[in-house]
Structure 1
Amino acid sequence: MAVGKLYIGRKVRDLRLVSQATQAQFAERLGISISYLNQIENNQRPVSAAVLVSLADKFKIDLSDLSGEEGNRLLSALSETLTDPLFATYSANAQEMKMVVRNAPGIARALIAAHQAYRHNSEQLASIDDTLGRASALVEKTPYEEVRDFFHFVDNYVHEIDVMAEKLAEELGIGDQDAFTAVSSYLEKAFDVRTSRASRDDDLMRSFDETTRVLMLNPYLPPATRDFQMALQIAQLSAGPVIDQIAAKAGFRTTEAYEICRIGLHNYFAGALVLPYGKFLEAAREVRHDLDLLAVRFGASLEQVCHRLSTLQRPGQKGIPIFFARIDRAGNITKRHSAAKLQFARFGAACPLWNVHQAFETSGRIIRQLAETPDGVRYLSLATQITKGARGFHSARQYYALALGCEISYADQFVYADDMELGNRAAFDPIGISCRICERTNCLSRAVPPIKSKLVVEHHSRGLLPYKLRPIVD
């Protein structure tokens, strides 16, 4: 698409807010009128090539930061929505969907939300014997999914909270000294909160008594988890009003979603405090995104490191655009975000050819994969297994696999790409997003036929699959 047709209003607005400039000040620096800037920020007019160059020159950012990648997540979700048989009488082409995402993203989100409500109601009605007489069970979208979509569509980056946490980290010297000493001392000096080891061995990780001002911590927490829980307590005590305001502006439909979002934002602050943006980004570049070294450097867990890498989306100071997911042994994606072109399926399991599933078979190792999706985009994919909840021989354990990766053009900035055949296309494994929307017709690992294909059944011959696929021609 031509540069003159870029609709990047949110990115321009975010850059202005980061610069702490009014619309008048920002427009003056760009050499444009206030009305034109207002139209740009509201996606009423595209950004011209001259304005793009001015943005790059005046604010020292890469033009790639202002590319059309903003709509990748929304475009992926909309594309998956329109594969539903519900829309069998209408087949949207790629250009139509791009126009909707760029010019009317609110309509795209409304359609996705309506489709999610339809799916939930359909699935629950399918088990009407169990839900008969409980009509209240037929809800539109679960509060958890609503909050997950909130973080998904803000690039998993919340600027106001991130900057607040980074300033506090700088004040406390986090990143230069042991986090435990810094956060525990700050809790006591700033809020008169004393930390203590819980006397009972149970599943409670932390408990704060507002009357006694004592924060009780499970004595068997790993150090990284202990520090994070203390940082979370700081978030509740120091950033509460800001977090409440952000959650309120999100416009959630239920109190449950609002409260879940508050928890998510408290967690975000905690992660940004123990892994401060600038120092963490610099260290990631220095060690070429070596996950183990970053974990040791900041006293963090592998999951905390991977999650933080997925939030490095600050305008003008972005990290590598990566994808990140956490998957349980049943294949459910319990955390997900992608700043890369690869977007995770909103429904159904992940592709069985993706190396994240193999992580459960190789405990303690970071495994690598060169992968190519049906659209021809190639990736470096990393995966490793983690264990949570282990507090003694009889305690229950949770096993997850973490997946992290980037498009192959960024692979040389990861230590894990060393000695891999990045230029050999034959070295890349073909993977998809999920079987229900994957376009590949010759995949022997397919679990279910793709929705957008017709089945051809041959009664007198049989391959490894009991059917052949004939793509629908638009």
Structure 2
Amino acid sequence: MAPQKLYAGAKLRETRTRLALTQKDFAARLGVSLPYLNQMENNNRPLSTTVVLALAREFGMDVTELSAGDSERLVSDLREAMADPVFGTTPPGLPDLRLVSANAPALARAFLDLHRAYRQSHERLASLDEALGHADTDSRPSAWEEVRDFFHYCDNYIDPVDRAAELFAEKFAVQAGAGAGPVMGGDALPPALEALAARGVTVQYADTPVLRSYDAGARLLVISSKIAPGTQRFQILHQLALIAQNDLLEATLDLARFQSDAARDIAKIGLANYFAGALMMPYRRFQAAAQEVRHDLERLADLFGASVEQVAHRLSTLQRPGAKGVPFFFVRVDQAGTITKRHSATRLQFARYGGGCPLWNVHQAFETPGRVLRQLAETPDGARYICLALAVSKPGGSYRAPVRRYAIGLGCEIAHAGALVYADDLEISRPQAFEPIGISCRICERRGCHQRSVPPLERRLRIDPDRRGVLPYEVEG
């Protein structure tokens, strides 16, 4: 597969503007002509190796920031939006969408906001009960969607919060935990309890279905004794973030400029969760441990006193500039196939609405609880991945309490397979070992998929009433 050309005109212009350099001075520092720089900034030419090396040498740029990650997210989201039947049967082609995403990302996001507002209005009117019961026709994005997109376009890495958690761990000299192995994790609980006690907060455990409850007036934090020790630890660290890091969280929220108080409140919970996870698994220590055990999820969970889901999610956040880890995608789905969490630092993106590709192994994880499923997969763009999937259960702590069940998926491009213990005996050099998967049926171009639920928007259909295959139509090339 030929290497993908790197078009990063918007990033190049952004770098030059930040440095307050003219095109002439910038071109001279990069060692290229002024017309050549102009062509690169307008994405008429890809960045050459010489330019990439000059950016690193002259300006200390982390060249991984030039990857098409953010642009690919926009392309994926635009393709899904354009698959809406409201746009007819001749949507813009993939080259056009890539051009818009690379040259006018702000316009692309504005279009996505507009389409989301249309969807919400359409769905509201489609339900008569809802239409009669709600006089408010506010078409702003839902608070949940706004927060989801905030983390999505931040690459799921919040640098100030991540570094604050790591600084806390270093300041209190977190001691090694009880796990054994070449790399030891740290137990953040004792210093967290010490920090809470210094602020007059008492921590108690009680037989209650409520995971965490904090009375600010009495300075009393009650943690459920029914939940797993790792979850108890996480909830205590979450409350520590809300109390000890409130100014940092509020400053981060101010920069995000959410459109509603509800979105801001949800995002604050997300940031506190982020701090808790980063404190349980401090960036550099966790990254070193992940490399040492070759991203073995169970080993990392044991070393850091975390759940496998927490470990998988943390792996997807290791995107610190200059110290990036393996670029993973992470997703969580419920038993109906609905995506409840999603993030991708890879080219693979997920459907914004509804479920994902049924051929993806994350949907099979419910059939084999307790096992890590492995899959070699190839997307329609030719990219190949190693995908891991595992079913997780969250018991309620008593016989009649409901049990929540999810499946989590984690994976990376096959180029990083050597860093994963899970790839050791897979035939990654054999093309036939890779299963075809997609994002969603409407934008998947595969013609012979036996699991297709709806026709692809960008292909013509041939319907023969005297012939029936697996599908009631054939997709033309």
1:174 is displaced (CA, Å) by 3.5
Mark the CA change 1:64 to 1:212 in structure 2 (over 3 Å): closer, same or farther.
closer
Q: What amino acid is the match of 1:358? A: Q
Q: Quick check: 434-443 or 64-73, which moved more?
A: 64-73
Structure 1 partner of 2:314: 308
Residue 119 in 1 paired to residue 119 in 2? Answer: yes
Looking at structure 1, the residues matched to 403 and 470 of structure 2 have their Cα atoms a distance apart, in angstroms, of 37
Structure 1 partner of 2:179: none
Q: Is the 8 A contact 2:208 2:225 kept in 1?
A: no
Q: Is the 8 A contact 1:59 1:316 kept in 2?
A: no
Which of the residues 3, 7, 15 maps onto 2:10?
7
1:225 is displaced (CA, Å) by 0.9
Q: What amino acid is the match of 1:164? A: A
Q: Is the 8 A contact 1:370 1:427 kept in 2?
A: yes
Looking at structure 2, the residues matched to 74 and 4 of structure 1 have their Cα atoms a distance apart, in angstroms, of 14
Looking at structure 2, the residues matched to 30 and 279 of structure 1 have their Cα atoms a distance apart, in angstroms, of 40
Q: Is the 8 A contact 2:188 2:279 kept in 1?
A: no
Looking at structure 1, the residues matched to 51 and 464 of structure 2 have their Cα atoms a distance apart, in angstroms, of 59
1:116 is displaced (CA, Å) by 0.9
1:70 is displaced (CA, Å) by 3.1
What secondary structure does 2:136 align onto?
helix
Mark the CA change 1:396 to 1:408 in structure 2 (over 3 Å): closer, same or farther.
same
Mark the CA change 1:51 to 1:170 in structure 2 (over 3 Å): closer, same or farther.
farther
Looking at structure 1, the residues matched to 48 and 395 of structure 2 have their Cα atoms a distance apart, in angstroms, of 53
Looking at structure 2, the residues matched to 433 and 255 of structure 1 have their Cα atoms a distance apart, in angstroms, of 32
1:434 is displaced (CA, Å) by 1.1
Q: Quick check: 257-266 or 326-335, which moved more?
A: 257-266
Q: Quick check: 278-287 or 345-354, which moved more?
A: 345-354
Q: Quick check: 245-254 or 43-52, which moved more?
A: 43-52
Q: Quick check: 241-250 or 215-224, which moved more?
A: 241-250
Structure 1 partner of 2:56: 56
What secondary structure does 2:289 align onto?
helix
Which of the residues 179, 197, 205 maps onto 1:197?
205
Looking at structure 2, the residues matched to 130 and 187 of structure 1 have their Cα atoms a distance apart, in angstroms, of 45
Provide structure 1 residue ranges, at least 5 long, that are not aligned to the other structure. 17-21, 34-39
Q: What amino acid is the match of 2:70? A: E
What secondary structure does 2:343 align onto?
strand
- Encode CA deviations 1:354-404: one digit per residue, 9 max, x unaligned: 000111011111110001111111110000011114302221100000000
Residue 360 in 1 paired to residue 366 in 2? Answer: yes
Mark the CA change 1:236 to 1:32 in structure 2 (over 3 Å): closer, same or farther.
farther
1:461 is displaced (CA, Å) by 1.5
Q: Quick check: 202-211 or 344-353, which moved more?
A: 202-211
Which of the residues 216, 228, 239 maps onto 2:234?
228
Mark the CA change 1:4 to 1:203 in structure 2 (over 3 Å): closer, same or farther.
closer
Q: Is the 8 A contact 2:169 2:188 kept in 1?
A: no
Structure 2 partner of 1:377: 383
Looking at structure 1, the residues matched to 174 and 424 of structure 2 have their Cα atoms a distance apart, in angstroms, of 31
Residue 185 in 1 paired to residue 203 in 2? Answer: no
Provide structure 2 residue ranges, at least 5 long, that are not aligned to the other structure. 31-36, 177-185
Looking at structure 2, the residues matched to 132 and 219 of structure 1 have their Cα atoms a distance apart, in angstroms, of 44
- Encode CA deviations 1:287-311: one digit per residue, 9 max, x unaligned: 1100000000100001110111111
Q: Quick check: 354-363 or 2-11, which moved more?
A: 2-11
The equivalences for 1:415-434 within 5 A come to 415-434=421-440
CA RMSD of superposed structures (Å): 2.7
Looking at structure 1, the residues matched to 361 and 7 of structure 2 have their Cα atoms a distance apart, in angstroms, of 40
Looking at structure 2, the residues matched to 139 and 258 of structure 1 have their Cα atoms a distance apart, in angstroms, of 18
1:234 is displaced (CA, Å) by 1.4
Mark the CA change 1:281 to 1:275 in structure 2 (over 3 Å): closer, same or farther.
same
1:470 is displaced (CA, Å) by 2.6
- Encode CA deviations 1:60-82: one digit per residue, 9 max, x unaligned: 77634433333111121112212
What secondary structure does 1:178 align onto?
coil
The equivalences for 1:254-333 within 5 A come to 254-333=260-339
Looking at structure 2, the residues matched to 29 and 310 of structure 1 have their Cα atoms a distance apart, in angstroms, of 34
1:447 is displaced (CA, Å) by 1.6
1:132 is displaced (CA, Å) by 1.9
Looking at structure 2, the residues matched to 317 and 262 of structure 1 have their Cα atoms a distance apart, in angstroms, of 26
Looking at structure 2, the residues matched to 352 and 11 of structure 1 have their Cα atoms a distance apart, in angstroms, of 39
1:228 is displaced (CA, Å) by 0.9
Mark the CA change 1:55 to 1:319 in structure 2 (over 3 Å): closer, same or farther.
same
Q: Quick check: 311-320 or 87-96, which moved more?
A: 87-96
Q: What amino acid is the match of 1:460? A: D
Which of the residues 183, 208, 212 maps onto 1:206?
212
Looking at structure 2, the residues matched to 90 and 466 of structure 1 have their Cα atoms a distance apart, in angstroms, of 22
Structure 1 partner of 2:248: 242
What secondary structure does 1:136 align onto?
coil
1:29 is displaced (CA, Å) by 13
Task: Name the TM-score, length of structure 1 as normaliser.
Answer: 0.88
Structure 2 partner of 1:19: none
1:124 is displaced (CA, Å) by 2.0
The equivalences for 1:345-356 within 5 A come to 345-356=351-362
Looking at structure 1, the residues matched to 295 and 338 of structure 2 have their Cα atoms a distance apart, in angstroms, of 26
Mark the CA change 1:246 to 1:178 in structure 2 (over 3 Å): closer, same or farther.
closer
Q: Percent identity?
A: 45
Looking at structure 1, the residues matched to 156 and 397 of structure 2 have their Cα atoms a distance apart, in angstroms, of 31
Q: Is the 8 A contact 2:361 2:375 kept in 1?
A: yes
Which of the residues 452, 457, 461 maps onto 2:463?
457
Q: What amino acid is the match of 2:192? A: V
Task: Name the TM-score, length of structure 2 as normaliser.
Answer: 0.87
What secondary structure does 1:371 align onto?
strand
Mark the CA change 1:181 to 1:9 in structure 2 (over 3 Å): closer, same or farther.
farther
